Structure 1
């Protein structure tokens, strides 16, 4: 699954890059695992309390409700709350959006989706002439970081790539070079 996809219109006046947010495989996977695990623990707790087997693959009625059943119930509720949070950020696609660079209007637009509320839509617009460079940051180690930043006069650096799973070096270099060529600015950090 591509992290960022770029598209140009036919006369090369607009460059639009999609940014993957929370709708990635790892979030779906962990939300499903937490949902199943939490439901299993909660059903085990209820089975130990009611002495009615609610699970088809084991017999938790043999558990003593205090302390084992209560502990399993606590873990089940905690896992279900975590899975609810994960499913909600996937549904809202937190962090997803696009980067659009339009030569026709002379504007760069950075759009991201956030959590619901008054700041749900994060949209930043800057004139193209204020863009000084594209900066690449590569940090390896325990917590690797590979990201592209837009350097803007008087504003600092704005991140252009997704948060979390780092991009491959090839993908990062290609995106940075394509964007620097399109905007006719230097590519820093390589």
Structure 2
């Protein structure tokens, strides 16, 4: 859950471990195991009979013999299993969770995110207050109104922090960024590209 903490001037960002990120991997895994692989392997073992859940009468498989259709179904099933497994793995590890901290005493902005296991398991970025031109909140409409938060550094480099379509977060983020700008002496900018 996205949280704005004005006591420590920190933004806590959610990762992939959210309910909606489990729906697509589950569909892909079920489709890969159930539909594609089942039909593809049934054609390989065409002499075996398949018993349907709703019928107690054994029936012949839909495809007889291993051919181009069976190969393509096995390929689709394998692809669905690999992609579904990868997405499920990312959601379980909560990839992308992190925080953005504005430290007034050290004049530093620190971005820390959780990555994949290994040498890049924690990803850190640090920028000086002197490098920051402004903090920009941008609204776009495509087709739903969306709010994005960006750090604009020297040379007009924009670093996207997060974006949301939840209107309840719009006012919270604007209030936090405005107060942060007043406290730290940052320039803040609100751009509305929906008009």
Q: Whose Rg is larger?
A: 2
Could you say what the CA RMSD is over the residues aligned between the two structures, in angstroms? 2.9
How many aligned residue pairs are there?
A: 181
**Structure 1 equivalent of residue 138 of structure 2:** 137
Correspondence for 1:20 among 14, 24, 34 = 14
Q: SS in structure 2 opposite 1:66?
A: coil
**Structure 2 equivalent of residue 175 of structure 1:** 173
- Closer, same or farther: CA 116–65 of 1 in aligned 2, 3 Å: farther
1:53 matched to 2:54: no
Cα deviation for residue 57 of structure 1 reads: 5.5
Cα deviation for residue 169 of structure 1 reads: 4.2
TM-score in terms of structure 2 length: 0.75
Between the aligned partners of 1:84 and 1:54, the Cα distance in structure 2 is 28
Q: SS in structure 2 opposite 1:160?
A: strand
Cα deviation for residue 129 of structure 1 reads: 5.0
**Structure 2 equivalent of residue 109 of structure 1:** 110
Cα deviation for residue 174 of structure 1 reads: 2.3
Within 5 Å, give how 1:57-136 maps onto structure 2.
Answer: 61-67=61-67, 68-136=69-137
Unaligned regions of 5+ residues in structure 1, if any? none
Contact 1:44 1:55 in 2 (8 A): no
Cα deviation for residue 116 of structure 1 reads: 4.2
